[in-house]
Amino acid sequence: MVSYQARLFAFLWGIAVIFSLNSSSGWLLDITNLWSFHLAAIMAVYLLFRPESRLIFRLSLLSFIVVAFTIMPAIQNHRMVLAFAGVALLLGSGRDEKWPRSIADLRWLTIIVYLFAALAKCNSDYLRDDVSCATIFLKQSLELNGFGGVKIPSVLSSGSVSGLWSFLVETVLIILLIPRKTRAFGVLFGFSFHFFLATNYIKYFTNFSSVMFLVLSSWLTEEQCKYLVSRFFERYQRELCIGVALLFVALTLNAIGFLPQILSIVRYTLWLAFAISICCVLFKVVIATRAVRDSSTLPLPHFIFVIIALLNGVSPYLGIRTLSTFSMYSNLRVEPDYTNHLFMPKSANLLPYLGDTVKIIGSSDPNFTELVNSPTQRLPYLSLCSYLAEMDDRGKGQDYEVTFERKGTSNTAIRGKGLPADCPPWILRKLLRYGPIGDGAEKQCLW
């Protein structure tokens, strides 16, 4: 018999994948190039009907891992974390004796994500009123939810306070999760934090919050998982499936350009209904089991899994990659010649690609032009090559012209029409990703 913990993971995995795929709708009309998205969506929906099926669970895990690899290096942080979680679950989804090790992997992943997210926020620009991502998103969330006219005391809305608040939350989460006595309260605190985070429905933090619901649930006991599954997922399984159906109807309408705004409304409404409900049930679970400590003993995690997750987190400081590194929306700048971190030095620049930059003169792609929008900013050449070659979940849309200057020479390239001969090889473009560097980069809230 499949454990309640495994069934809870199956439910939360399916929901996380569905909310992740609803970040955009372009993939829905491109089944030829983005078939893995369609397969992942079908498996995730089917998993909500059959959470006890190990075969469907493994197929769903595998299909999303393919999605993540397809869109690399342009993979958002929530999908990076979800892919890591998928690998951990895939390693233990076959046999019961391997399951505890997968849970250990997920718990290590939780700590690593929060640790490096908090570490990245220890920089001077995250504490500045005018550029802090924390302040920008806080004010945006209030405006989006009808509180834009509320006067917030400057002591609460300043960059230093809002930045310090988010840093402390992530730090406190780690502190609560590790001791057995406070573990359940840590999970509840984490769910509440990510519920609040997802109130910014323009940035669509719902996708990241649903992923962290999954990862945080690895800290619950089998008895707590049984309570959640029986009191929430099994009781409201039909309502969940109806909600998912509505979500895909809205996604389809958005993809064909009919009532495009309805997608944001539907997915935010459904998220509120789901998140509020599960947080209330989890609160009851924590209260009912507050006197019971987690007495389970888990084996050591997979060493390679932990090393790769740690490497991804430390990458900005080593110069290996600066995007999709668990440092999302932190205003962090760690470059070969500059750092805004409070105590971490300049980039170790272990690889030569971060310092090999180009100046973007112009582009017919407005999104790309916006990425490098300051005369003092430069883009690593590897990132330009990745942009010229990459496929993402918005479909091809690749016939964009880019004019750039490299080593004193002006060049022009067209996205999807062949790469410059000196671009780094495919495998490096797949694994490495850098954002813009130079003055102004700290003002961009990038994942």
Residue 274 maps to a domain: no
Residue 284 maps to a domain: no
Q: Answer yes or no: do 181 and 53 share one domain.
A: yes
pLDDT above 90: percentage of residues in the chain: 30
The average pLDDT across 189-203 equals: 84
3-state secondary structure of 266: helix
Q: Give Cβ neighbours of residue 153 (< 8 Å, ≥ 6 apart).
A: none
Residue 275 maps to a domain: no
DSSP state of 442: G
Residue 296 maps to a domain: no
Instruction: Give the integer Cα–Cα distance in Å for 351 and 382.
Output: 11
Q: Answer yes or no: do 243 and 324 share one domain.
A: no
- The residues that bridge with 358 in the sheet, in sequence order, are 379
Instruction: Give the integer Cα–Cα distance in Å for 178 and 171.
Output: 11
Q: Which of 242, 265, 288 is the last residue of a domain?
A: 265
Place of tokens 């397809």: 70
Averaged pLDDT of the chain: 84
Flag the least confident range among 78-82, 197-201, 278-282, 336-340. 197-201
CB contact at 8 A, 378 and 436: yes
- Quote the tokens at residue 304: 């390679």
pLDDT tens per residue, range 8-31: 999 999 999 999 988 877 788 877
Q: Which pLDDT does position 10 carry in this prediction?
A: 92
Q: Give Cβ neighbours of residue 225 (< 8 Å, ≥ 6 apart).
A: 3, 4, 5, 7, 8, 217
Residue 64 maps to a domain: yes
- Quote the tokens at residue 204: 């669509």
Residue 393 has pLDDT above 50, yes or no: no
Instruction: Give the integer Cα–Cα distance in Å for 189 and 187.
Output: 5
DSSP one-letter string for 102-154: HHHHHHHHHHHHHHHHHHHT-BGGGG-TTT-HHHHHHHHHHHHTT-TTS---H
Structural domains of the chain, count: 2
Q: Answer yes or no: do 193 and 311 share one domain.
A: no
Domain residue limits at 334? 305-443
Q: Answer yes or no: do 24 and 89 share one domain.
A: yes
Residue 137 maps to a domain: yes
Residue 320 has pLDDT above 80, yes or no: yes
Q: Which pLDDT does position 361 carry in this prediction?
A: 85
Residue 374 has pLDDT above 80, yes or no: no
Length of the chain (residues)? 447
The average pLDDT across 93-111 equals: 85
pLDDT above 70: percentage of residues in the chain: 87
pLDDT higher for 146 or 385?
Answer: 385
Instruction: Give the integer Cα–Cα distance in Å for 322 and 330.
Output: 11
Flag the least confident range among 6-10, 148-152, 371-375. 148-152
Would you place residue 44 in the very low, low, confident or very high pLDDT band (cuts 50, 70, 90)?
A: very high
Q: Answer yes or no: do 312 and 247 share one domain.
A: no
Q: Which of 216, 250, 265 is the last residue of a domain?
A: 265
Q: Answer yes or no: do 256 and 318 share one domain.
A: no
Q: Answer yes or no: do 215 and 115 share one domain.
A: yes
Q: Answer yes or no: do 29 and 125 share one domain.
A: yes
Q: Answer yes or no: do 259 and 310 share one domain.
A: no
Would you place residue 372 in the very low, low, confident or very high pLDDT band (cuts 50, 70, 90)?
A: confident
Residue 146 has pLDDT above 70, yes or no: no
Which amino acid is present at 66? Answer: V
Residue 144 maps to a domain: yes
Task: Report the candidate in 296, 295, 305 with the shortest Cα–Cα distance to residue 102.
Answer: 305
Q: Answer yes or no: do 337 and 253 share one domain.
A: no
Instruction: Give the integer Cα–Cα distance in Å for 349 and 352.
Output: 7
Q: Which pLDDT does position 394 carry in this prediction?
A: 45
Q: Which of 265, 285, 314 is the last residue of a domain?
A: 265
3-state secondary structure of 288: helix
Q: Answer yes or no: do 98 and 218 share one domain.
A: yes
Residue 125 maps to a domain: yes
Which amino acid is present at 309? Answer: A
3-state secondary structure of 404: strand
Q: Answer yes or no: do 222 and 322 share one domain.
A: no
